[in-house]
Amino acid sequence: MIVRFSNTFDLPIDHVFSYFRSPADWVRLYGIAGDVIPYPDGWIGVPLHRFPFPLIAKNTDLIANEVVRWTFRGFWKGQGEVRFTQTDQGVLVQGYEQISARWLFFLSPIVEALFLRRQFEAIWELGWRRLRKQEIRPVP
C-alpha cells in the first residue's frame, strides 16, 4: 500500500525537518508507543501502538531541510520519502510511504486494504495534527 501526503505548516523548515532526521525522531512526532530499539548499522526499531511488530527502519538518504528517504526491513517491507519546500505560506511537506507486511505474501493486499491502510493513515494524521498545534499564530 502507498500512503501519500502533502501538507503546509506555518513553522520553520528546520523545525519540521527535525522530526524526520532519523526514525528515532518519529516517536516525537507520532507519540508512538514505547521506546525506540537501536539495531546495528543504523537500523532503528520504532514501536507502533496496537501493532505487535515494530517498524525497523533506516534512512537511506538525507539532505538537511530538503529530503529524507528511508527503507524498512523485518516484518515490514517498503520505503518512504519526505520532501521539504519553503513557500510563502510556510513549509510544504510532501511525500509517501510504501509499506506492506512481508510475511503475508498473497494475503498482504487484502490485510492492507481491510486493516493496515486506515491505521497507517491515522498515524500520519496524528503527526500532522501535532505539527498544526505548533504552528505560528498571529497575536490578535
Numbers of helices and strands, H then E, in the chain: 4, 7
pLDDT greater than 90 at residue 132: yes
Sign of CA dihedral 12, 18, 21, 22: negative
44 sits in which H/E element: strand 44-46
Predicted confidence band at 80 (pLDDT cuts at 50, 70, 90)?
very high
Distance from C-alpha of 45 to C-alpha of 58, rounded to nearest angstrom: 9
Predicted confidence band at 27 (pLDDT cuts at 50, 70, 90)?
confident
* Whole-model pTM over 0.85: yes
pLDDT greater than 80 at residue 107: no
pLDDT greater than 90 at residue 115: no
Distance of alpha carbon 125 from the chain centroid = 10
Distance from C-alpha of 71 to C-alpha of 98, rounded to nearest angstrom: 9
Distance from C-alpha of 19 to C-alpha of 59, rounded to nearest angstrom: 13
Distance from C-alpha of 23 to C-alpha of 83, rounded to nearest angstrom: 15
**Helix (H/G/I), strand (E/B), else coil: 46:** strand
Domains of the chain, earliest start first: 2-133 (3.30.530.20)
- Give the tens place of pLDDT for each residue, 14-26: 999 999 999 999 9
